[in-house]
C-alpha cells in the first residue's frame, strides 16, 4: 500500500486524521475505529461533483482494471457518508471507474465526513499529486484552491508542500493564450517552453513563436534566446555584411586557395583594410604553410 505523502500538508492531514471526520459507529459496523476501511458496493457510491480531472484515458483505465482483477484495489478510495445507503466519492475516481470496468462489486473505502469545501480541497490536492498530470491541470487545481477554498498563496504552499515560487510559476501559465495552454496540455511543448513564452510581451508574438517552436522542435534554451532578441532588439549586435571582393581580389583568393590547398579567405572593408585567413587542421599543415609562405 502506498504511504500517504507528507506533502499533502497539515490542513489535509487534520481532516483525514481527526475522529470528527470519520464514521466509526454502528451505522457501518460494530468494530470500526478511526481510519478503518469498509468494503462498499460500487452501486451506492456517487461521483464527486468537485472532481477536477475530467479526462481519463481509456487505455490506462483498462490496464488498471486488469490489475484490479488480478491484485485487487491496493489503495482504498475515500468517500463520505451521505446516508445509510449512499456515499459520495471524495478521491480515487480513477480506481472506482476501473473497478466498475472490471465488474468488481465492492471496493475498499475510507469513510469520512467532510463539508463541500473540504471535499473540494481534498480532491484537488490529491489531483495535484497524481503522476503524469499535465502542467495546465496542476495550474487550474492551484487556481481553484485559491479561489474556491479561500486559500492564500502561503496556505496553499503549506497544503501542497510546494514553494510559493513554484505555485506562482504554475499560475502564470493560465495567463497564456488558449492556443499555448492547449499545446502545453497536449505535450507539444514543455513547461520550460511555456515559461519562456510568458515573457514575450504581446500575444501575437507569443503565438508566432509557438508555431516556430513546434515546427522546428526548438529547445527551451533556444526559445529563451529568441525571447531575449524579441524583447530587446536594441541589444543585438548588428550583423555587418562583408563587402563583395573586387574581381582581381576574388581571383587572387582563388589562386591562394589552390596554392596552399586550403580555403583561403580574403576580407576587405570600404577603407581598404582587411585580412587574409588561411585555416589549417594540424601542426603539420601549419609547418607546411609556413614553409610555403617563406618560399
Q: What is the residue whose three cell numbers read 481510519? A: 35
User: Within a 13 Å sphere around the CA of 265, how many CA atoms are in the beta-carbon half?
Assistant: 9
Could you say which of 93, 121, 126, 137 is catalytic? 93
Q: Is 139 exposed, middle or buried (0-12, 13-18, 19+ CB in 10 A)?
A: buried
| Contact in structure between 8 and 125 (CB atoms under 8 Å) | yes
How big is the CA angle at 58 (ends 56 and 63), to the nearest 5 degrees? 105
Residue 227 CA: distances (Å) to CA of 32, 223, 232: 60, 6, 8
Annotated active-site residue 93? The verdict is yes
Active-site residues, by number, are 93
Amino acid at each position: 500500500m502506498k504511504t500517504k505523502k507528507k506533502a499533502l500538508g497539515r490542513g489535509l492531514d487534520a481532516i483525514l486524521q481527526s475522529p470528527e471526520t470519520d464514521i466509526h459507529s454502528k451505522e457501518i459496523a460494530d468494530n470500526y475505529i478511526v481510519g478503518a476501511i469498509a468494503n462498499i458496493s460500487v452501486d451506492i457510491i456517487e461521483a464527486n461533483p468537485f472532481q477536477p480531472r475530467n479526462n481519463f484515458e481509456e487505455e490506462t483505465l483498462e490496464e488498471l482494471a486488469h490489475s484490479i482483477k488480478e491484485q485487487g484495489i491496493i489503495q482504498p478510495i475515500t468517500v463520505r457518508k451521505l446516508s445509510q445507503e449512499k456515499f459520495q466519492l471524495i478521491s480515487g475516481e480513477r480506481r472506482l471507474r476501473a473497478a466498475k470496468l472490471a465488474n468488481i462489486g465492492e471496493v475498499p473505502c475510507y469513510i469520512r465526513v467532510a463539508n463541500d469545501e473540504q471535499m473540494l480541497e481534498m480532491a484537488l490536492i490529491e489531483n495535484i499529486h497524481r503522476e503524469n498530470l499535465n502542467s495546465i491541470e496542476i495550474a487550474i487545481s492551484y487556481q481553484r484552491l485559491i479561489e474556491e477554498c479561500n486559500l492564500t498563496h502561503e496556505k496553499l504552499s503549506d497544503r501542497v508542500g510546494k514553494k510559493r515560487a513554484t505555485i506562482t510559476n504554475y499560475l502564470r501559465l493560465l495567463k497564456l493564450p488558449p492556443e499555448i495552454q492547449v499545446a502545453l496540455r497536449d505535450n507539444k511543448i514543455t513547461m520550460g517552453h511555456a515559461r519562456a513564452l510568458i515573457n514575450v510581451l504581446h500575444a501575437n508574438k507569443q503565438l508566432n513563436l509557438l508555431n516556430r517552436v513546434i515546427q522546428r522542435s526548438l529547445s527551451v534554451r533556444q526559445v529563451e534566446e529568441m525571447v531575449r532578441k524579441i524583447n530587446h532588439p536594441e541589444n543585438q549586435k548588428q550583423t555587418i555584411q562583408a563587402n563583395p571582393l573586387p574581381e582581381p581580389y576574388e581571383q587572387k583568393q582563388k589562386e591562394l586557395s589552390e596554392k596552399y590547398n586550403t580555403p583561403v579567405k580574403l576580407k576587405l572593408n570600404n577603407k581598404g583594410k582587411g585580412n587574409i585567413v588561411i585555416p589549417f587542421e594540424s601542426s603539420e599543415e601549419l609547418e607546411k604553410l609556413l614553409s610555403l609562405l617563406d618560399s
